[in-house]
Chains A and B, each alone.
Chain A
Amino acid sequence: MLRRRLRRAHALCLVGVWLAACAPASPTPAAPAADPSAPSGDERTPLVVFAAGSLIVPFAELEAAYEAKHPAIDVRPEYHGSIQVIRHATELHEPIDVVATADASLLPMLMFQVEDPATGTPYAEWACSFAGNRLALAYTDRSLYTEEIDSQNWPEILARPEVLLGLADPRFDASGYRAMMALALAERWSGEFGLFNQVFEGQFTYPVRIFREDSLSTITVPEVLETRSEAHLRMRGGSIQLLALLESGDIDYAFEYESVIRQHGLRMLQLPLPVDLSDEAYRDQYAQAVVELDFQRFASVEPRFIGEPIAYGITIPSTAPHPQEAEKFIAFLLGPEGRAVMQADQHPVLPSPLAMGWEAMPVSLQPLCAGVGGP
């Protein structure tokens, strides 16, 4: 009897473990309601789209619009930091049809130069820049010093120890290294060459270093990046993970893209044009900030990001299970319907999408994306 009850207690514990293990590990965005006339999920062709977290709102609507037009397709989006988006294809070898990142230059760096070990061909040979954005500071009514902060004094406010600042991890998310670039550019713009260290010094276990030359500020991010216990910096894998912390009041400010801030109805501080990585006219100035990731152990490539106007990139990995369907989806995005969805969600699209590796692009997409220096 006694033994039986003990076993029961043990079994209860184990059932509990099982139940707990069933809990989802991470939330996924709710899919829009399916078209009732569409075939059921089992019959539809799945189209796996891995995209930057800042595309979550327009891409959710794009998914609904595309599925309404193509009932036989089941668009399955998944959102991460842009570098993570690529690594899901190149390191975790997941079957992905479309890759869309917040930084188009990541695609040649991390996909053109990396070969699929199974075939010996690069993971991608072309990419199309299709959308822009602007880096800004998001905050709420409860944030500290909202009455005081402006486009001049923001680095000084962010450096205050009582101000909790949200930052995406620059090792995984483009907005993370762009935030670091913005501070390096703010130094150059204002001539106050101490702003970067004011915000970041003493925040990490292993320091993020900045090396200033006449026309270049090089920021080195260590391979292991973790905040110290007394830090006023709150870091998350992707910038969209900071939104909940902003809304709960657990951070005061976060570097976010303008489109994301508007989509979530947050308050926004616009950064000056020479800093916010939005304006083509400042291309040369932006290039004066460079972020290097000091990867030694885990990665075969050592990423180096050069400041430039923000451009979102999209491609079809060579490992895509449904490349033809992916082509149609990208054509929809680049066409009038896709552009209308993006603009309705306040995500700026490029007036004319621009291709890298134009000649390697699927023929159907070539008219929609001009080649660099090409047709």
Chain B
Amino acid sequence: MTDEHPLLKIEDLAVSFPATDGSDRRVHAVSGVSLSVYPRQTLAVVGESGCGKSVTALSTLKLIPTPPGRHEHGHIWWSGDSDGGQPTDLLSLSEKQIRRVRGNQIAMIFQEPMTSLNPVYTIGEQILEPILLHQKAPRGQAVQTAIDALTEVGIADPEARLREYPHRLSGGMRQRVMIAMALACQPKLLLADEPTTALDVTIQAQILELLRKLQHERGMSILLITHDLGVVAENADVVAVMYAGRVVEYGSVRDVFSKPLHPYTKGLLASMPVLGDKRTRLATIPGQVPNPTNYPTGCPFHPRCSDRKDDPQCAAEHPALLEVREKHWAACWHAPGYDQAKATTPDLAYRMALQT
């Protein structure tokens, strides 16, 4: 297990945008994020809106418009480029090189299935596009691939669906088509940016079930971005909790859910409804996600923290992400054992791959 190499390794990634207040300051949407995805693993990135989850995923495919965005520092090492040679830094690739990765080795599905399909093309033409773009296959064979992909995502009568326009499909069907499009080129990694947020609950369950099944069959990895902890608990192997552009807790899904170390993670878990619970009001985390133009000094979470709000250290110094317990990282001064944290280096290379 230990000499296994991650498929994707994000190292100390920082992405900034110009501040909207007109000054020439730059706002860091993501700063110092490190995470890695192993083959056949699902990594869930969790956090409230605006904490940098999507920016992290978009950076992986260099989809952040630059300018105005800018990759300040960091690397995104990708080892999925066929022959298992040296990992390449995706951020250093040219536009032309990254286009060979997009949709081919790393595919992405988006939050909004209603608007993520081009209204003027049939389903078939849209699924064919990445296939014809990346694989030098003749059209007839590509059509067969598209039909297979549609069958695989559970769409009935795929030949007929190929000739239909997106407006005739429901949201769940469109998300299935998006998944079929993403999977048509057999990617090694699937970036799923809140794939179920716009769907109703029964369809959500079906789509997640489908993703699990496909992951199992294809042996691909998934980077799952979500704010739904229920989704995380059922689908993820490893969880990265993000807050204000940083990873604040990182560990296996079992560790994070049963023994959360960071008060933010505890707050998120506490605010989940529990089936059969008699409480009428759900617990909330007071306050709001801080505006990126104006992050508080020290730990960005300290103004909302219920644990030790008045600790001067929290307000003064930013806690680094340390390995507080065996293979369980947290960035909180008050995490039990943080002061003598076993590893002073936030080394994130090891992780257990659960539920194979």
Does A associate with B in a complex?
A: no
